[in-house]
Amino acid sequence: MISRDYLLGMVEKFVQRVLRIRERISLRQYAGAREDLDGAFQELVGEGALKVSQFSEAELLSRVAQGGPTHAYGDKARLLVGLLQEAGRIHEAENLETESHACWLKALNLLLTLQLQDADFEFPDIVPGIDLLREQLGSAVLPLRTLAALWRHYERIGSYGRAEDALFALLESEPFNAGLLAEAKVFYERLLGHGDAALVAGNLAREEVEAGLEILRLRASSVRSIGEAL
């Protein structure tokens, strides 16, 4: 069985690689940074950065799970997120916004998936958090599945205002989705079951929850009317 000391050694080696990549970015040695990144990706998933950019999140996690013990999966998956963050930074330094956002979006989706698996994100410095990745993506339009995962994530951690923001972004994209409206209604009803202190701590006062629920009821009524008219 692989030891915890081995895992810690693996993590430390990747930490040093990431720090070297960051140093090379700061020195504008982008070719060297890309070379280091390729080597790290090769060791972790068996392919270089270009191929990694073409894999889906599910394919990447499948590759991480191959060829190693089950209990190493979480550590390796988080290291992958850290490498994607650095790939995005290299692209950003070279003014390749589309490519940098693609890396950060993939990293964000991976983190959200890992969190649903109750993974522990405690690799300070080299593994970005969900909020940092969301900030780096700025005003970029996020896929619906990412917004849905953010909605669930923020509710799970008690950040209800951010959960509502993600929900509204979903509703803007899917205004006539009856299933989504039903889920959103249940979300607000769950929030009403919390105490005022918990809602305020989550940056969403009870009055806002009640107002949001009323807006949903009006939307749902409109969707039903449209359906009946058709």
Task: Say how far apart CA 225 and CA 230 lie, in whole Å.
Answer: 9
Residue 2 carries which side chain, given as an amino acid letter? I
CA-nearest of 201, 193, 213 to 160 is 201
Domain parsing of the chain, residue ranges:
4-137, 144-229
CA contacts within 13 A on the Cβ side of 135: 5
- Give the list of residues 6+ apart from residue 122 with CB closer than 8 angstroms, or none: none
Tell me the average pLDDT across 101-123: 83
Q: Which two tokens stand for residue 205?
A: 């006062």
Tell me the average pLDDT across 18-26: 95
Report the percent of the chain where pLDDT is more than 90: 70
Q: Please report the pLDDT score of residue 39 as a whole number.
A: 95
User: Which pLDDT tens digit goes with each residue over 194-227?
Assistant: 999 999 999 999 999 999 999 888 888 877 665 5
Residue 59 scores a pLDDT above 90: yes
User: Which pLDDT tens digit goes with each residue over 80-103?
Assistant: 999 999 999 999 999 999 999 999
Considering the chain, what is the average pLDDT of its residues? 89
Question: How many separate helices (H) and strands (E) can be counted in the chain?
Answer: 12, 0
Q: CA end-to-end span of the chain, whole Å? A: 63
Report the percent of the chain where pLDDT is more than 70: 90
**pLDDT category, 118, cuts 50, 70, 90?**
low
Q: Please report the pLDDT score of residue 230 as a whole number.
A: 45
Task: Say how far apart CA 108 and CA 178 lie, in whole Å.
Answer: 27
Q: Please report the pLDDT score of residue 229 as a whole number.
A: 47
pTM comes to 0.89
Residue 69 scores a pLDDT above 90: no
